[in-house]
Amino acid sequence: MTITAIIVAAGKGERAGGPVPKQYAMVGGKSLLAHAVMAFSSHQSIDQIIVVIGEGQSDLAREALGEVAGLRIITGGAERQDSVAAGIAAAGDADILLIHDAARPFLPHTVINRLIEAMETSDGAVPALPVADTLSRGNQHLGDVVDRTNLYRIQTPQAFRAEAIKTAHSQWRGPVATDDAQMARAAGYRVALVAGDIMLEKVTTPQDFAEAERRISARLISRSALGFDVHQLASGEELWLGGVRIDHDKGLVGHSDADVALHALTDALLGALGDGDIGTHFPPSDPQWRGARSQRFVEHAAQLVSAAGGIIDHVDLTLICEAPKIGPHKDAMRAAIANMLGISVRHVSVKATTTERLGFTGRGEGIAAQAIATIRLPEGN
C-alpha cells in the first residue's frame, strides 16, 4: 500500500496580513508549510509528498522547504477544490491519499497513524474534535440553543482510498467544495471519524499566529548538545565540507563521503535528542553507507527532531584546519545546511579557526569540526 500526502498551500492568506501568504509565515522558527511537510516526511509510512502552491509562489516554496526527499511541488488552481484535484492527478498510482491544509502546521504522527489504521475498513477517514461550546442560533440576538450531541469540528489531513476520492471529485456537481470528505459522502462513500488533536487548530488570523507561537513555545523545552569529529586528509580523495564540494589537493578519508562538518552536526543533533550518535544510526560496518552523502545523516537527524515534535532553533559549526581557506565557502555551507535542516539560513552559523600550525590539523594531516545544536522538544521527551 503506497501513501501520498497532498498539502494544499495555494491560498493568498490575506486575513493573516503580513508580507507573504500565511503558509510561508514563520512560527517556531519555520514556515507553516515547512512544519506540515516535515510532519509527513518524518513519518515512515508516507511514500510521497505533493505540495500544491499558488501561481507565482515557486520561489517562496523553494526557500521555505529546500530539498526534501520524495517531495514534489506543483501549481494549483483558483479554488481549493481545483488545487486538490491537481494534487490528486499528480499522485499517480498511490493507494491512499492524505489531503492536508498547510494552515494546520502542527500535525502529530499519532493522527496520521489513526487515519491510516481507519483506512483498513473505510473509504475515507477524517480527524475530528467534539464540539465543547454551547451552540446557539441567532441574528443580533441570542436564539435557540443547538443540541451539540454528535457534533464535531472536522480537521485535516483527510484520508481516502485514491479511487474513491478521484470518483468523488469527478462526480461533484455542487458549489465550490471546501471539504473533500463531504464530496466523498455525496458520492456514497463511508468516511470514518478518528480522534483529532488540539495541535491541529487552523492558523488564519494574526491572533491565531500569536496563539500558535504561544502554544508551541509553552510545550517545548530547550536542549543543546555538542558534536565533534575528525577525518584524515589524503591525496586522491574529494573534499566535502558542510555539504559543499571544495577544490583542494587533498580530500577527507572515511567510510562515507567523510564530510567532517556534517558528521559533527549530526552528532550534535542526536545528542540534543539523547538518541545515540552517528555510529549508532549509520554504523561504518554497514556497506550501504560506503561513499554515502553525509547530507542523508543530517536530514535523518532533523527528521528525528521533527518526529519527536521538536524544533531546531540554531546550529553553530566550527571547522579547524590550516587549509583550505573556509571563508570563501561559508555562505554556500550555511545555505546547504539550512536546506538540510529546513530552517532559515539566519539560524546557521559556520566559523573556522586554525591551531597555529600545532598538532595534526596544524600539520595539514586532517580536519576537525565541532558543532553545537540547540533544539526545543516537548517536555518529557
Query: How many angstroms separate the most distant Cα atoms in the chain?
Result: 84
What is the pLDDT averaged over residues 148-156? 93
Question: 231 falls in which pLDDT band (50, 70, 90)?
Answer: very high
| pLDDT score of 276 | 93
What is the pLDDT averaged over residues 187-205? 94
Looking only at the bridges linking them, the beta strands covering 124-130 and 348-353 are: unpaired
Report the distance separating Cα 33 and Cα 269, nearest Å.
Answer: 22
Report the distance separating Cα 136 and Cα 32, nearest Å.
Answer: 33
What is the pLDDT averaged over residues 172-196? 94
Report the distance separating Cα 183 and Cα 177, nearest Å.
Answer: 7
What are 333-368's pLDDT values in tens digits? 999 999 999 888 999 999 999 999 999 999 999 999
CATH 3.40.1390.20 fits 221-378, yes or no: no
| Nearest CA-CA partner of 264 in 304, 316, 227 | 227
Question: 17 falls in which pLDDT band (50, 70, 90)?
Answer: low
What are 264-318's pLDDT values in tens digits? 999 999 999 999 999 999 988 888 888 889 999 999 999 899 878 788 999 999 9
| pLDDT score of 46 | 96
| pLDDT score of 309 | 77
Is the separation of the CB atoms in 258 and 230 below 8 Å? no
Question: 30 falls in which pLDDT band (50, 70, 90)?
Answer: confident
User: Which of the two residues, 76 and 288, has the higher pLDDT score?
Assistant: 76
Whether 184 has a pLDDT exceeding 70, the answer reads yes
Whether 15 has a pLDDT exceeding 70, the answer reads no
Is the separation of the CB atoms in 227 and 263 below 8 Å? yes
Pick the CATH number of 3-218 from 3.30.9.100, 3.90.550.10, 3.90.79.10, 3.40.50.12780: 3.90.550.10
Whether 123 has a pLDDT exceeding 60, the answer reads yes
Is the separation of the CB atoms in 266 and 227 below 8 Å? yes
Whether 145 has a pLDDT exceeding 70, the answer reads yes
Is the separation of the CB atoms in 276 and 270 below 8 Å? yes
| pLDDT score of 13 | 61
Angle at 310 between CA 70 and CA 160, to 5 degrees: 45
What are 242-268's pLDDT values in tens digits? 999 999 999 999 989 999 999 999 999
| pLDDT score of 215 | 79
| pLDDT score of 380 | 61
What are 1-13's pLDDT values in tens digits? 899 999 999 987 6
Question: 67 falls in which pLDDT band (50, 70, 90)?
Answer: confident
| pLDDT score of 53 | 96
| pLDDT score of 140 | 86
Domain ranges within the chain, ordered by starting residue: 3-218, 221-378
What is the pLDDT averaged over residues 103-131? 95
| pLDDT score of 29 | 72
| pLDDT score of 294 | 94
Report the distance separating Cα 203 and Cα 361, nearest Å.
Answer: 50
Is the separation of the CB atoms in 370 and 228 below 8 Å? yes
Helix, strand and coil content of the chain, in percent to the nearest 5, comes to 35, 30, 35
Share of the chain above pLDDT 90, in %: 73
What are 304-330's pLDDT values in tens digits? 998 787 889 999 999 999 999 999 999
In the chain, the amino acid numbered 30 is: K
Report the distance separating Cα 150 and Cα 369, nearest Å.
Answer: 58
| pLDDT score of 14 | 61
| pLDDT score of 355 | 95
Highest mean pLDDT of the ranges 85-89, 148-152, 173-177: 85-89
User: Which of the two residues, 196 and 178, has the higher pLDDT score?
Assistant: 196
